[in-house]
Structure 1
Amino acid sequence: MKDYQEYHPHNIYGKTSNSFIRALKRVFIICLFLSGSLSIVVFQICVQLLLPWSKIRLQNGMNQSKKAFIVLLCMILNMVAPSSLNVTFETSQSSKNSSNTKSCFRFKDRAIIIANHQMYADWIYLWLLSFTSNLGGNVFIILKKALKYVPLLGFGMRNFKFIFLSRNWQKDEETLTSSLISMDLNARCKGPLTNYKTCYSKTNESIAAYNLIMFPEGTNLSPKTREKSDAYRQRAHLNHVQLRHLLLPHSKGLKFAVEKLALSLDAIYDVTIGYSPALKTEYVGTKFTLKKIFLMGVYPERVDFHIREFKVDEIPLQDDEVFFNWLLNVWKEKDELLENYYNTGQFKSKGETENRSTVVMKQTIGFQHETLAPRFLSYYGFFAFLIFLFVMKKILELALR
């Protein structure tokens, strides 16, 4: 694959020192995001009005709108923050030798993706990984309940069937159960999106797939959250556990999700995310905020992912404590990966040196992956324009009466 920097532009804010021009560019980016989001929401409303009788076609339309949103974000990031995205993933030697073609990473159709949470943009990059696996319309993210009520975006995310939690288990258990059971039943051809005739069709298989993104740390790493994590570590009598680059993970929600999805789940992916340039003493979430990335052009030059796959039968679900210890060991290994990353600039897995059957493959992707992004988004813009004309016509008719 060609080197990423060969065809990627620099961020648009770095091309001029004129403050007025930079302000105009920020306004342009904000308008592009809002108009694109509005177009997607209008498309969702049209689909709901025109296809209420067909759950499969309705869901397919919502999945298309979900793809459009990540395309919109990637198109903007390609202009303002063109980071290089590098993936290393562990595979077996036999898998590598079984094909003459270069191995490329791809998430399985029904998977849980767990990752360390360093900054608020983490979910965008993980969503892009799913998009390059042809699963951009099948991503589900667990979010704070307050985001459900954000104007415009909240409505769109509810249609995406994202899971909104209030961080109160008594309230969240019912919401989480309903969402997970629906995902599982549809994936096993037993839910409302499936029937005997369409269950095994390629179209329906893509509709019923899911990539559930979860952050077991619960929040992104910062001085404040580190203090809370240390307090949690003391309450849990885990003073012997010292994580240098991570927060202590919480296992209850993840175990609950694995149990509810176990019958359809293909794999659990552990994704370790590293951002460069960043020192091990820095907090990435403070250095690269959403505002700095999208409106100031301050962004990581490189985003690195190291991905490990766990089979469902490898996960100890029989006991809460055993499961927590398993997750804690995963987090300790992740912390060691990040220590090596900050020291050497790359991820180096223990399996790479200790297990000869393990091969670490490398892959580079970029925001240019969807070359038809402008045309793809224009479909939604066309719907928005038609609705705008219709509304203006009705307003004029009422005004002239």
Structure 2
Amino acid sequence: EMELRRLLHQVRCWLRVMFVLANNLYCIPTYLAWMWVIFYPLRLLLPPLYWAIERQLFRLLLLMVSFWSWSAEYYVDEVGEDVSECYGDRSLVLVNHQSTADVPLLMASFQGKRSVTEHLMWIMDRLFKYTNFGAVSMTHGDFFITQGKDTRNTQLQRLRDHISEVYLRRGLKWVVLFPEGGFLHKRRATSQRYARANGYPVLEHVTLPRVGAMKTVLETLTAENLAKTHKGEEPLKWVVDITIGYPDMGKPLDLFVISGGFRKQCVVHMHYRRFPIAELPIHDTEALTKWLYDRWAEKEDLLDIFYRTGRFPGRLHQGGGDEAEKKDLAPLRETPLRVDFNIVWIVLVHAFFIMSTLFHVALFRWLFSLVPLW
């Protein structure tokens, strides 16, 4: 009986993998067909309308990705500060990076945050450009960064240009950045060697972050800079800090596990904090680096508590300390907020993408039939 259960579980998992592959096939090409064929004239004639349509389709695509983890019973609970007042403001989102599951789980977390999802700009490694979702991200306006000392200055200038030419023009809001520059298991040893050599904290649950991209985003989107380059544009108002905690002593999920549901049901916790931009020493690299390192040391403490107790504290240093002394503290969530979805809406969105795919297949078949064959 045990063997039969194991076999049935494997069959179910591989059927889920096939479903996720099919979901990609009837969602991504039809999104590209809408944006690069059907609606493309609007991009030239009425750009605001074109990008308004794109943002809605992008939001629906992210809902499809979010559905993968939710349907596998990998749930997201949000704890810490209530950052709802940041939803409509331009914000820089800083997240610790553990695995390929981080992005789809963040997509799930963002789904319930009013208009946040469609106004996201992700900053990610250029290798993501060559994945199944790469063409969607390129269309939407995400930024792909190349790692390495040799290209650092060039990449940061590209980021400045991208913010001016894409992020601002398309009315995007939240910039999502993984300052560690890679997965925890890949960077931990290097980070610890660097910390020991330079007198920084030796971290176990996170790695020392890099400040370059963060500083570039902050400086480019200050009110002073925008007054010179993009008068009337809204500056950054908040830094939203998210700490992702995986269960089982920090054993992260990954995208393949999410696709198939290979692991047992679990809850991933996301601890939210927010900091007014006015608190950050934006133009002082050394002070900004210290500020960022301090936040990552706090993430280390948060995760240490989480792995020992199974839950995040609402706020560090409740009885005192730097974080408790922050001005304008956000309200804390009294209980974890479970990210949930409306199954009827999900079914309707699946139906929309399937019908769109059938429409585009029929349309392109008809167009090809008009081409004479020799």
- Tell me the TM-score normalized by structure 1: 0.78
Q: Which digits, 9 at most, give the CA deviation of each residue in 1:46-79, with x for residues without a partner? A: 2224553111001111111210111111222232
Q: Which digits, 9 at most, give the CA deviation of each residue in 1:267-303, with x for residues without a partner? A: 0011111112x22xx552xxx2211221243266111
- Structure-2 separation of matches of 1:19 and 1:123: 25
Partner of 2:161: 178
Partner of 1:290: 255
Partner of 2:229: none
Residues 246 and 314 (structure 1), Cα distance of their counterparts in 2 relative to 1, 3 Å cut: same
Partner of 1:210: 173
Letter in 1 for 2:240: Y
Instruction: Give the Å deviation of 1:376.
Output: 2.8
- Structure-1 separation of matches of 2:257 and 2:21: 13
Partner of 2:28: 37
Instruction: Give the Å deviation of 1:89.
Output: 2.6
Residue 205 of structure 2, aligned match among 245, 254, 269: 245
**Secondary structure at 1:368 match in 2:** coil
Does residue 312 of structure 1 match 2:277? yes
Identity %: 19
- Structure-2 separation of matches of 1:350 and 1:113: 19
- Structure-2 separation of matches of 1:329 and 1:398: 63
**Secondary structure at 1:346 match in 2:** coil
Instruction: Give the Å deviation of 1:244.
Output: 2.4
Does residue 265 of structure 1 match 2:236? yes
Does residue 274 of structure 1 match 2:245? yes
Partner of 1:140: 121
**Secondary structure at 1:27 match in 2:** helix
Residues 392 and 156 (structure 1), Cα distance of their counterparts in 2 relative to 1, 3 Å cut: same
Residues 251 and 19 (structure 1), Cα distance of their counterparts in 2 relative to 1, 3 Å cut: closer
Residue 107 of structure 1, aligned match among 87, 90, 94: 87
- Structure-2 separation of matches of 1:329 and 1:253: 17
- Structure-2 separation of matches of 1:64 and 1:358: 30
Residue 384 of structure 1, aligned match among 357, 361, 374: 357
**Secondary structure at 1:52 match in 2:** helix
TM alignment of 1:2-401, pairs within 5 A = 17=8, 19-20=10-11, 22-45=13-36, 46-79=38-71, 81-90=72-81, 107-134=87-114, 135-150=116-131, 153-167=133-147, 168-182=151-165, 186=168, 191=169, 208-222=171-185, 224-234=186-196, 237-238=198-199, 240-263=200-223, 264-276=235-247, 278-279=248-249, 283-284=251-252, 288-298=253-263, 301-348=266-313, 349-354=315-320, 355=324, 360-361=332-333, 362-369=335-342, 371-398=344-371
Residues 37 and 50 (structure 1), Cα distance of their counterparts in 2 relative to 1, 3 Å cut: same
**Secondary structure at 1:84 match in 2:** strand
**Secondary structure at 2:318 match in 1:** helix
1:68, 1:377 within 8 Å by CA — same for their partners in 2? no
- Structure 2 unaligned blocks of 5 or more: 224-234
Count of aligned positions = 346
1:112, 1:212 within 8 Å by CA — same for their partners in 2? yes
1:89, 1:360 within 8 Å by CA — same for their partners in 2? yes
- Tell me the TM-score normalized by structure 2: 0.83
Q: Which digits, 9 at most, give the CA deviation of each residue in 1:221-256, with x for residues without a partner? A: 10x421221233245x12x51212110111121111
- Structure-2 separation of matches of 1:15 and 1:55: 53
Residues 179 and 120 (structure 1), Cα distance of their counterparts in 2 relative to 1, 3 Å cut: same
- Structure-2 separation of matches of 1:16 and 1:120: 26
Instruction: Give the Å deviation of 1:158.
Output: 0.6
- Structure 1 unaligned blocks of 5 or more: 1-13, 92-102, 194-207
**Secondary structure at 2:282 match in 1:** coil
Letter in 1 for 2:122: I
